[in-house]
C-alpha cells in the first residue's frame, strides 16, 4: 500500500514570490545618496577591506570580488594575505545587527589607524553605525528578528540577499563610470583553483 504524503511546506513558487517581493521592496527603498557616499570612499581608497561573519561575510566576499574586477585593491579581513589597514584605506563592515563583535572590533581598529569605515547594517544606531563614516541601511530584518514584520524569510536571509544585490547594483554603477570593457574586467577574474 502506497501512502500519499501531503507537503508540509508551501510550494516552491510561494517561496519565490516571498523572496522576489521582499527584495524588490528593499531595493526600491535604498538611499542612493548613502550608496554614492560609500562609492566615493571605496573608489578613493588605496585599498578596500571587507569583513562580515557567516552568510553576511560570504555576501561581502562576493562584493569584494566584483571590486577586484573593477581593478581595485581589495582584501578580505582574516585572510592570511590581508595586509595591515591604514590611512587612505576603507573598510566595508557588514553586520545586520551592527553588533557582531569581530566586525565592530575591526571598525575600531580601522578608525584607530586612520581608515574610513562604511557600515552596511539594518540598525542605524548600532555600535557599528556609530563607528562608521558612511552608514548604509538595508531595511531588512537581522537574524534575531523573528517577528516576520520586516521579512517572512528565515533569520537574516533578506539582509544577506540585499548585501549581494545592492553591491551588484553598486558594481554596475561604478563600472558604468569607467571605460572598461567586460573583457578587461574578465582579465582580472580568478584563474587558479
pLDDT digits over 99-116, tens only? Answer: 999 999 999 999 999 999
Per the annotation, the verdict on 160 as an active-site residue is yes
Domain contains 10: no
CATH code (residue 150): 3.40.50.10490
How many separate domains does the chain show? Answer: 1
Domain contains 82: yes
The pLDDT-based confidence of 9 (bands split at 50, 70, 90) is low
User: For residue 121, what are the β-bridge partners?
Assistant: 137
pLDDT digits over 105-153, tens only? Answer: 999 999 999 999 999 999 999 999 999 999 999 999 766 777 777 888 8
Q: Which residue is catalytic, options 3, 22, 79, 160?
A: 160
| Mean pLDDT of all residues belonging to the chain | 93
Domain contains 124: yes
Domain contains 153: yes
In this structure, the strands spanning 74-76 and 116-121 are: unpaired
In this model, does residue 45 exceed pLDDT 60?
yes
Domain contains 96: yes
Expressed as residue numbers, the domain containing 93 is 32-178
Residue range 81-94: mean pLDDT, rounded: 98
> Looking at the whole model, is its pTM more than 0.75?
yes
Domain contains 126: yes
In this model, does residue 8 exceed pLDDT 60?
no
In this model, does residue 166 exceed pLDDT 80?
yes
Amino acid at each position: 500500500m502506497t501512502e500519499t504524503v501531503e507537503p508540509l511546506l508551501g510550494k516552491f513558487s510561494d517561496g519565490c514570490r516571498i523572496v522576489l517581493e521582499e527584495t524588490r521592496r528593499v531595493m526600491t527603498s535604498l538611499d542612493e545618496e548613502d550608496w554614492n557616499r560609500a562609492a566615493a570612499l571605496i573608489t578613493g581608497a588605496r585599498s578596500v577591506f571587507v569583513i562580515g561573519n557567516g552568510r553576511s561575510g560570504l555576501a561581502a566576499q562576493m562584493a569584494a570580488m566584483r571590486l577586484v574586477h573593477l581593478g581595485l585593491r581589495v582584501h578580505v579581513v582574516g585572510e592570511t594575505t590581508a595586509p595591515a589597514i591604514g590611512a587612505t584605506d576603507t573598510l566595508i563592515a557588514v553586520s545586520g545587527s551592527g553588533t557582531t563583535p569581530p566586525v565592530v572590533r575591526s571598525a575600531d581598529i580601522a578608525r584607530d589607524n586612520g581608515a574610513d569605515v562604511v557600515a552596511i547594517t539594518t540598525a542605524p544606531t548600532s555600535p557599528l553605525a556609530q563607528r562608521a563614516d558612511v552608514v548604509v541601511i538595508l531595511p531588512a530584518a537581522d537574524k534575531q528578528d523573528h517577528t516576520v514584520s520586516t521579512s517572512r524569510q528565515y533569520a537574516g536571509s533578506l539582509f544577506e540577499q540585499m548585501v549581494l544585490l545592492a553591491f551588484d547594483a553598486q558594481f554596475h554603477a561604478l563600472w558604468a563610470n569607467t571605460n572598461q570593457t567586460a573583457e578587461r574586467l574578465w582579465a582580472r577574474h580568478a584563474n587558479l583553483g
